Chains A and B, each alone.
Chain A
Amino acid sequence: MKKIFRNLMVFVFNFLFCALAYSEPELLEQSESTEVNTAETSIKTQFNPNFIFGFSYLQWNEKMHLQSGGITDSDLANFTGRALSLEKNFPQARWGYSLGLSLGSGLASGGGNSSKVIFQSGNQDWVSMGGFVKIYQKLTPRFFIGLTAPLFWRQVKWPDPLATSGKDLNMALLIEANFRLTKRFDFFQSIGPINSSEGATLWRLGLNYRM
């Protein structure tokens, strides 16, 4: 039941995105235009922080370290899940930055490839909490591109105490593309290296709601 719910969540998330169709391009561009016009006259008047609530789907990998009876080996672990975030946005005329907090949870699967140490475990729960800093450039009124640096602590308990993966504290640097669907809703996607494992990447996609 839990698996069906999880699969349906992913599907519904994608379909809900399809359904967010009401756009107000005129209002959005008008507000952006006003913001640009006031930039030259007063920085204070355009400084207008707001809060953004986000929901995202994320994936990343970690290197597993296996140990059994003096024999060690390495393997791979995959993490998938979802996260909620709350960020405070500080938009400027042509760019902006934000600071945020996030909570996440999901499932992890690892092992199954090592011939020296037999270990495989699937669908282990993980949780995370952390924060992030984002800076972005407004290429068009409806499309922003930027960098996001999340720092998060994550916990996963593999059934075998001699199987470990990655680090509890993780930092990543992501390129983020943000599409402003409507005045309130954004669709974003980001990808970049995560330092918990060698050569691993983390990517996220999600929806933001501007409050």
Chain B
Amino acid sequence: MRHLYRLLISPLIILCFSSLAHSYPDFIGYGYSSCITCHYNGHGGGALTDYGRAVFATDITAPNSFYSGLEDDEIGKRSAFLIKKDLPWWFRPGIKYRGLWFQNNPGSESSKTEKFYNMQADMNLNFFMNKKQKYALITTVSYLESPRQFASSSEKNPPYWFFKEYYLRYQYSKNFWVYLGQLDKVFGIRQVDHTANSRFALGLGQFDQSQGAVLHWAYPTWEISANVFFGNNDESESIKQKGLSISGEYELAEKTKLGASLLNSRSESKQLTRMAGHARLGLSKGASLLAEAGLFENVYFNGSNNNTGIYSIIQGLVNIQRGYNLLSVLQYTKGEMQSTSPERTSWGLGAMMFPWPRTEFRLMALNGKIYDPASGNEDRWQLQGQMHLSW
């Protein structure tokens, strides 16, 4: 009976204490210029590798009482799922939670609104077929409280659990990986803010994973990926975007990368084309600048509302002291290049903090402006707070 109890309880303990932390493209300032260094997905996002968790605990998180008096090696070991105890080599789980609070028009008595979202609740279950992790099954199960953005008759009403991401990862050689399954599309900088104009507005948001195949070549000074995709499993067939994307980066100098991306896809009702160039610069330890600028074109086959627009995003991260960073995000979008459509700009300024292991806090103030030849517009202000827990 005692053995049965342990068999039942152990998975729960694993899930509760498994370690999954954060790593961002901004961390090129620490010398981590390729996402595959820390992530199972070589383009970023999702679960961290054992090495990624150790880097996070020793380089990114602030010195704290949990690790007081410990050397970096020991801190790295304690970043594991069961903290001090190793898991079997073939299994790596994780839990990630993000909560978002925001307030629109702070200071205004008449138009102030405030809300809190459980933005993300994911469980990673990753399996490996050998110790070198040459063959891997990477999965993410998500809990959803609000409907996703695609209106699908096959999607039931939330709340519910669903497989957001599931793919086989095969490392063919030291520099070549193949991914097969449902995963994020390859395009641009995969920054963590899924609402950024370089993500959600381009069809690369939080739930825009697509079934397909990714070929990824990664060498010390360059990377290139090709992604064929066929739409999300939970979408109706008529709205599935099917197409191809290609993305690559080249290292001009140490901690200096230039890249370009191209995406083209179509469904029964519309065709989407995106092109972008980007740069990732590591300025000094913990300081980086990311920039992406591109074109997007939406063509509707019924002839209505076709548009070609431009966007750009510039994100700066400066480490003030270990665990505490200043964050700045500038965004620009113009929905139509050749018309009098409005230009939307926003600037967010705030802090990204990692005070304790497996924990992140963000505080941001955002100012949004619209330049519209058809009318004058008021500024929009928003305060944001986020809490991320990763186990």
**Chain A residues close to B by CB (< 8 Å):** 3-4, 7-8, 10-11, 14-15, 17-23, 25, 29, 59, 61, 64, 75-78, 80, 107, 109-113, 120, 122-123, 139-143, 177, 179-181, 187, 189, 191, 199-201, 203, 205
Whose C-beta in chain B lies nearest to the C-beta of A165? B376
A14 adjacent to B372 (CB under 8 Å): no
Query: Lowest 8 CB-CB distances: which A-B pairs, in order?
Result: A112-B375, A122-B373, A76-B376, A14-B312, A18-B279, A142-B283, A14-B293, A142-B284
Selected A-B contacts with CB under 8 Å, 9 pairs: A7-B334, A61-B378, A78-B372, A78-B377, A142-B287, A177-B328, A179-B318, A191-B349, A203-B369
Beta-carbon contact of B369 and A7 below 8 Å:
no
Specify which chain A residues have a CB less than 8 angstroms from the CB of B316 in the assembled complex: 177, 179, 187, 189
**Contact: B252 with A109, CB < 8 Å?**
no
Q: Which residues of chain B come closer than 8 Å to A141, judged between CB atoms?
A: 284
Query: Which of B119-127, B224-232, B335-343 interfaces with chain A?
Result: B335-343
CB of B148 to closest CB in A, whole Å: 30
Residue of B nearest to A199 (CB): B379
B291 within 8 A of A: yes
- Which chain B residue has the least Cβ–Cβ distance from A7? B337
Q: Check B252–A22 contact: CB distance below 8 A.
A: yes
Cα separation A25 to B18 with both chains bound (whole Å): 38
Tell me the bound Cα distance from A18 to B287 in angstroms: 16
Instruction: Please report whether the interface of chain B is mostly helix, strand, loop or mixed according to DSSP.
Output: strand
Q: A78-B377, A179-B283 are in contact. Are A4 and B337 (CB under 8 A)?
A: yes
| B: interface residue count bin | 35 or more
Contacts of B258 in A (CB 8 A): 18-19, 21
Additional pairs, 17, CB under 8 Å, beyond known A200-B379, A203-B367: A10-B312, A14-B293, A21-B258, A22-B252, A64-B376, A80-B371, A109-B376, A113-B375, A122-B340, A122-B374, A123-B373, A140-B287, A177-B318, A180-B283, A189-B314, A189-B330, A191-B347
Pick from B255, B279, B340, B376: contact of A112, CB under 8 Å: B376
Q: Is B210 an interface residue (CB 8 A)?
A: no
Is residue B266 contacting chain A, with contact meaning CB distance below 8 A?
no
B345 within 8 Å of A (CB atoms): yes
The answer to whether B289 has its CB under 8 Å from any CB of chain A is yes
Bound complex: CA A201 to CA B278 (Å): 29
**Bound complex: CA A44 to CA B166 (Å):** 64
Contact of A15 with B371 at beta-carbon distance under 8 Å, contacts A7-B334, A139-B318, A142-B283 already known: no
Distance (whole angstroms) from the CB of A39 to the closest CB of chain B: 19
Q: Report B263 CB to chain A, min CB distance, Å.
A: 17
- B253 CB contacts on chain A under 8 angstroms: 21-23
> Which residue of the partner chain, among A25, A109, A181, A201, contacts B379 with CB atoms under 8 Å?
A201
Assuming A4-B337, A10-B332, is B377 touching A18 (CB within 8 A)? no
Inter-subunit contact B283/A25 (CB<8 Å): yes
Does B256 touch A at the CB level, under 8 Å? yes
A21, B340: Cβ atoms under 8 Å?
Answer: no
**Residue in A closest to B367 when the chains form the complex, CB atoms:** A201
Contact between B372 and A205 (Cβ–Cβ < 8 Å)?
A: no
Contact of A23 among B256, B330, B347 (CB under 8 A): B256
Q: Complex Cα distance A120/B289, Å?
A: 39
Q: Which of A18, A23, A122, A123 contacts B291 (CB 8 A)?
A: A18
Across-interface contacts of A181 in B (CB, < 8 A)? 281, 283, 289
What A residues does B373 contact at CB under 8 A?
A: 107, 109, 122-123
Q: Are B255 and A25 in contact (CB under 8 A)?
A: yes
- Inter-chain contacts of B345 with A (CB < 8 A): 59
Chain B: minimal CB distance from A1 (Å): 10
Q: Is the CB of B375 within 8 A of A14?
A: no
Least CB separation from B345: chain A residue: A59
Give the nearest-CB partner of A77 in chain B.
B376
Contacts of B338 in A (CB 8 A): 3-4, 7
Contacts of B279 on A, CB cut-off 8 Å?
Answer: 17-21
Rounded to whole angstroms, the CA-CA distance of A61 and B345 in the bound complex is: 13
